[in-house]
Amino acid sequence: MTAPTQITFFEFLTPLVASGLKTITIRDASENHYLPGSQVEVFTLENHIKVCDIIILAVEPLAFDDINEFHATQESLPLVELKQLIQTVYPNQQALFMISFKLIDASYS
């Protein structure tokens, strides 16, 4: 399987990505194939509008129960809101992945 070259975020989260405030995303096993060191285009989930480019730093396993204030800070969301969002998107999923990234191009925002 080749590494993905695009990633989507809910539209309300894209300003956080484009500003560099959001530096991780938590995904399930179906979205853990990103390759550290690769450049990825960021799009809005709802309208597929390009927002910026990021570089993937790491992809690491993360249990839902281990999500804490560190992850909330990196997601730029309150911990309660982050956990609720993850439960909504990935109901009953304990095995997740943390994808760390950094902003490299926000010229589309």
DSSP conformational letter for 2? P
Compute the distance between CA of residue 75 and CA of residue 77 in angstroms, rounded to an integer.
5
- Which of 8, 14, 75, 83 is catalytic? The answer is 75
44 is catalytic: no
Element of type H or E holding 58: strand 50-63
Query: Which residue type sits at 77?
Result: L
- Which of 8, 22, 23, 83 is catalytic? The answer is 22
Compute the distance between CA of residue 108 and CA of residue 35 in angstroms, rounded to an integer.
23
Query: Which residue type sits at 105?
Result: D
22 is catalytic: yes
- Which of 25, 31, 46, 102 is catalytic? The answer is 25
Contacts of 66 (CB under 8 A, 6+ apart): none
83 is catalytic: no
Positions marked catalytic: 22, 25, 75
